[in-house]
Structure 1
Amino acid sequence: MRIMAFDYGTKRIGVAVTDPLQIIATGLDTVHPLQIIDFLKRYMQTEQVERFVVGEPKQMDNTPSQSAMHVKGFVNLLKKTFPAIPVEMMDERFTSKMASATIAQSGMGKKARQNKELVDNISAVILLQSWMDRKIY
């Protein structure tokens, strides 16, 4: 079964997923928030998802950021729509910066670093990989 992670934004949600053995995190897609539930229902017709990991937006002092209330609404929607799938929160500070750095190190140009969909997608992968790394140790 797969683990799925979300980098939630009010304009886009980066979605990443593990392979069935939960070894590798891969970017799946970037989806508009109004389309995410339909996207997930379609995906789960062919794939089994064991757990959702949602990026928890925090300020540097560990307090919730401005987007925390939107994320909370998204988490409630996930729980209501998919009650059998547990939802876990994971600190997402620095994931966007790490995603931009990853894109830069990959040799992609400035245009790729400014592609917000790509950044959101890679942020979700970093979030999921961090969650998996934490689970292993």
Structure 2
Amino acid sequence: MKPRVLGIDFGTVRIGIAISDPLGMTAQPKPFIKQSETSFSEIIQLVNDYDIKTIVIGLPKHTRGGHTKKSEEVAEFSEKLKEHITIPIVFRDERFSTQAASKQLSVTGLNQKKQKTKIDSQAAAFVLQGYLDQI
């Protein structure tokens, strides 16, 4: 078994969540966390429940690679998260992850309302899968 990895797609309303399988081969989307005062404690609970050893956070960038206002929000979120955990946090380019997640969900036959509840965690799974494929 490989150490488990948590993938995060940060959003101001919802935080997409994905966790690697026990073999460290695939990213599995989990229910999103609603952005609130308890968000960090919910993430810490996942870290403890799944014995997470690394967190991968999607970092938004312009199509040309530059940082965005959202990149700054992600950096601020990760700094606050570091106050609560001691495991490494890794950033991964998340350009087009939401579009890829939307495309994948649209072929599943889910209606728009159901897709909206799953897209953030599906995007987190894309970011995490890219990381898993490189390690």
Partner of 2:99: 97
State the distance in 1 between where 2:14 and 2:49 align: 23
What's the RMSD between the two structures over aligned residues?
1.5
Q: How does 1:73-92 map to 2 (within 5 A)?
A: 73-83=76-86, 85-92=87-94
Q: Is the 8 A contact 1:103 1:112 kept in 2?
A: no
Give the drift of 1:53: 0.2
Secondary structure of the equivalent of 2:32?
strand
Q: 2:26 aligns with which of 24, 27, 33?
A: 24
Give the drift of 1:65: 1.5
- Number of residues paired by the alignment? 132
Q: Which moved further from structure 2: 72-81 or 35-44?
A: 35-44
Task: Kindly provide the CA deviation profile for residues 28-66 of structure 1, in whole angstroms up to 9, marking residues without a partner as x.
Answer: 121123222111232234320110000001011211122
Q: Which moved further from structure 2: 12-21 or 44-53?
A: 44-53
Q: Which moved further from structure 2: 74-83 or 51-60?
A: 74-83
Letter in 1 for 2:122: I
Is the counterpart of residue 46 in structure 1 residue 49 in structure 2? yes
Structure 2: tracts of 5 or more residues without a match: none
Secondary structure of the equivalent of 2:49?
coil
State the distance in 2 between where 1:98 and 1:60 align: 15
State the distance in 2 between where 1:62 and 1:74 align: 20
Q: How does 1:1-137 map to 2 (within 5 A)?
A: 1-34=3-36, 35-83=38-86, 85-113=87-115, 115=116, 117-135=117-135
State the distance in 2 between where 1:33 and 1:73 align: 14
Q: Is the 8 A contact 2:44 2:84 kept in 1?
A: no
State the distance in 2 between where 1:46 and 1:127 align: 21
Structure 1: tracts of 5 or more residues without a match: none
Q: Which segments of structure 1 move beyond 6 Å, counting only runs of 4 or more?
A: none
Secondary structure of the equivalent of 1:14?
strand
Give the drift of 1:8: 0.3
